[in-house]
Structure 1
Amino acid sequence: MRKTLYIIGLSFFVFSCTSQKSVKQNTSRTNKQVIQPKTTIAKANNEKQKPQITHDGGSEFFTTNIADATKNNNTISYGSIVSAKPAGYKVVKTYFPAVGQNFRQRYLILHYTALPDDKSITVLTQQEVSAHYLVNNTGDNEIYQLVDENKRAYHAGVSSWRSDKNLNDTSIGIEIVNAGFRADSTGSRVFAAFSDDQMKKVAALAKDIITRYQIPPTNVLSHSDIAPTRKQDPGPLFPWKKLYDEYQIGMWYDEATKQTFFEQAQLDFTTKYNEPSFIFLIQTTLQKFGYGVELNGAWDDTTKKTIEAFQYHFRPQKYDGVMDAETWAILQALNQKYPIK
């Protein structure tokens, strides 16, 4: 009997130990840390193979456009790619570049320096005024670059065109060495001409810039266009029509369209010239084209200077700031040809 009880007790002890060991093993498995595999972002199956980034002397470049040009998108880098360097982390270009991007450079603004060559260089490099490029008048084949195109130059100042303001932020500025104007015995402004050699330089430079940055004709402007109440440059002798005809640079009106508007304009100026509603219409049309003119229905100083700036650009034979039938016809023809989109 005793022997039988001894065997039963021994069997219970063995079973109990075995059960506890099993529990410990299960507990150990439950508490063991599970390491998840590294997550990777899979590329979409329909994503096109992108051209490679070019490496040169420690700098990176991307010189191919893979974006939709019809949307004014462009992925080309005309300088080296600038990237952040966050401490302790690595910036990678695994998915570079995104197609939804375009250039910050949206305007090309032309100026004259009103100074000779040597003083133009000094002022534009040593003072708080600058431009991206300076076109000299020394007869050589050099164009001076003064500011990186990716940086803001201080050339436009307080400025506006259509819905944009402070155009230093979005423009490239070209300064042209030219004496500007002097006042004659009657107080009228007499402007200095530009040399043919200079204009060839300006045309080549402007064409290169507007082509690379896809700048539309409506955004190739004079300083007087974007600041008509305080600036006159590059003045009425700057050959805008020549640049348009020979190089397809900037805006110009169609003669036939202008003539159509001119016939009606002659009637308007015979009967409506001093009516506030007609003056308001002219101010509204100037504003619609791009000028920052006030709408008040009066021939005030701001309106006169704005008309003068318009005439500098599009009617250089007459730039007295007085709206006449031909100036009015030209303005309407330009608005028809270059509507705001």
Structure 2
Amino acid sequence: MRKTLYIIGLSAFVFSCTPQQNAKKSSYKPKSPVSQPKTAIKTQTPEKPKPQITNDHGVEFFTTNIADATKNDNTASYGSIVSAKPAGYKVVKTYFPAIAQNFRQRYLILHYTALPDEKSITVLSQQAVSAHYLVNNTGDNEIYQLVDENKRSYHAGVSSWRNDKNLNDTSIGIEIVNAGYTADATGKKLFVPFSDDQVKKVAALAKDIITRYQIPATNVLAHSDIAPTRKQDPGPFFPWKKLYDQYQIGMWYDEASKQSYYDLATSTDFTAKYNDPAFISSVQTQLQKFGYGLDLSGKWDDGTKKTIEAFQYHFRPQNYDGIMDAETWSILQALSLKYPVK
């Protein structure tokens, strides 16, 4: 019995003398959770549902714009959608339309035919020239369409405006039946007026085209604007100011601005600097910057005179002698101020 008690006491002593460090090692402590950096969850902006494509008797149409109209972008289609049909494969429109697109039709160009009605139809529909539309002079309510707006018609020829060339590629052409001009004994061109019915037709047609394709005022032009050395149409009797005032079509200057420049020009001896090469170069540069395709020769050469004449047809039709007088100069300044190149 005494031996047993001795063993128990010895065991207690040994336990009590064990270092506390070892005791701590043997004790249990729950581990604190280690915080891990959270993985950022990428949230995708949900794609806006695209309007449905309209199907009419197997022909597809898409008439809604989902692009950025402020950038002159437009996805609407004003005709049937043209798609490829590759042999053995199926073209699907699961992701149609992409928003990054705009219209080919960036310009509207106006012409006269210099021919009577029947001859105009024959030439523009059966020969190597054409236009998208032909406005007749028969007093009815019809306008003839000759070329699909999505296709290129052959109406502009060698042409340019600002930074663009070969405007057949990017324009819609409207031909107006009109006899054009004859020259008198002095060589002055005598033009034929347009009928009121024609002007109303042209205004309605142009407004429709401009609105659908978002064509800016600076891109509504005469054939003579884009080819001044070889074309005169639609000439000084075409009522550009009336289209601007009554239908908000095309460009026109502000009268107050023009008058301010005119007062400035006439307060000095404007004619004294007329033949100064620096003044001529300045005029040529301004015409070129405004949009006309013109060589900077520093001389009143034939190309410059014809360009001034074309400018006068459009913006100063009372006198189209090809001379840069104070009034023509003032109009050019006012237009350049109102329609700067962007």
TM-score under structure 2 length normalisation: 0.86
Q: Which residue of structure 1 aligns with residue 70 of structure 2?
A: 70
- Per the alignment, in what secondary structure is the counterpart of residue 109 of structure 1? strand
Q: Distance in 2 between matches of 1:326 and 1:271?
A: 15
Query: By how many angstroms is 1:273 displaced?
Result: 1.1
Q: Which residue of structure 1 aligns with residue 290 of structure 2?
A: 289
Q: Which residue of structure 2 aligns with residue 14 of structure 1?
A: none
Gaps of 5+ in 2: 1-43
Aligned-CA RMSD value: 1.1
Residue pairs, 1:77-116, within 5 angstroms: 77-116=77-116
Query: By how many angstroms is 1:184 displaced?
Result: 1.8
Q: Which residue of structure 1 aligns with residue 182 of structure 2?
A: 182
Residue pairs, 1:51-66, within 5 angstroms: 51-66=51-66
Matched, 1:324 2:325: yes
In structure 2, give the amino acid aligned to 1:309.
Answer: A
- Per the alignment, in what secondary structure is the counterpart of residue 111 of structure 2? strand
Residue pairs, 1:176-325, within 5 angstroms: 176-266=176-266, 267=268, 269-325=270-326
Query: By how many angstroms is 1:57 displaced?
Result: 1.4
- Per the alignment, in what secondary structure is the counterpart of residue 172 of structure 2? strand
CA-to-partner distance for each residue in 1:159-201, whole Å, 9 max, x for gaps?
0000000000000000000000011232211100000000000
Choose 270-279 or 121-130, whichever is displaced more.
Answer: 270-279
- Per the alignment, in what secondary structure is the counterpart of residue 110 of structure 2? strand
- Per the alignment, in what secondary structure is the counterpart of residue 149 of structure 2? coil
CA-to-partner distance for each residue in 1:49-104, whole Å, 9 max, x for gaps?
11100001111111111111111111100011111111221111101111111100
Q: Distance in 2 between matches of 1:278 and 1:250?
A: 29
Q: Which residue of structure 2 aligns with residue 121 of structure 1?
A: 121
In structure 1, give the amino acid aligned to 2:113.
Answer: T
Radius of gyration: which is bigger? 2
Gaps of 5+ in 1: 1-43
Q: Which residue of structure 1 aligns with residue 150 of structure 2?
A: 150
Q: Distance in 2 between matches of 1:288 and 1:281?
A: 10
In structure 2, give the amino acid aligned to 1:182.
Answer: T
Q: Distance in 2 between matches of 1:115 and 1:204?
A: 23
In structure 2, give the amino acid aligned to 1:50.
Answer: K
Q: Distance in 1 between matches of 2:226 and 2:71?
A: 26
TM-score under structure 1 length normalisation: 0.86
Q: Distance in 2 between matches of 1:268 and 1:122?
A: 53
Q: Distance in 1 between matches of 2:73 and 2:108?
A: 18
In structure 1, give the amino acid aligned to 2:298.
Answer: G
- Per the alignment, in what secondary structure is the counterpart of residue 111 of structure 1? strand
Q: Distance in 2 between matches of 1:89 and 1:265?
A: 69
Q: Distance in 2 between matches of 1:53 and 1:270?
A: 63
Identity of aligned pairs, percent?
82
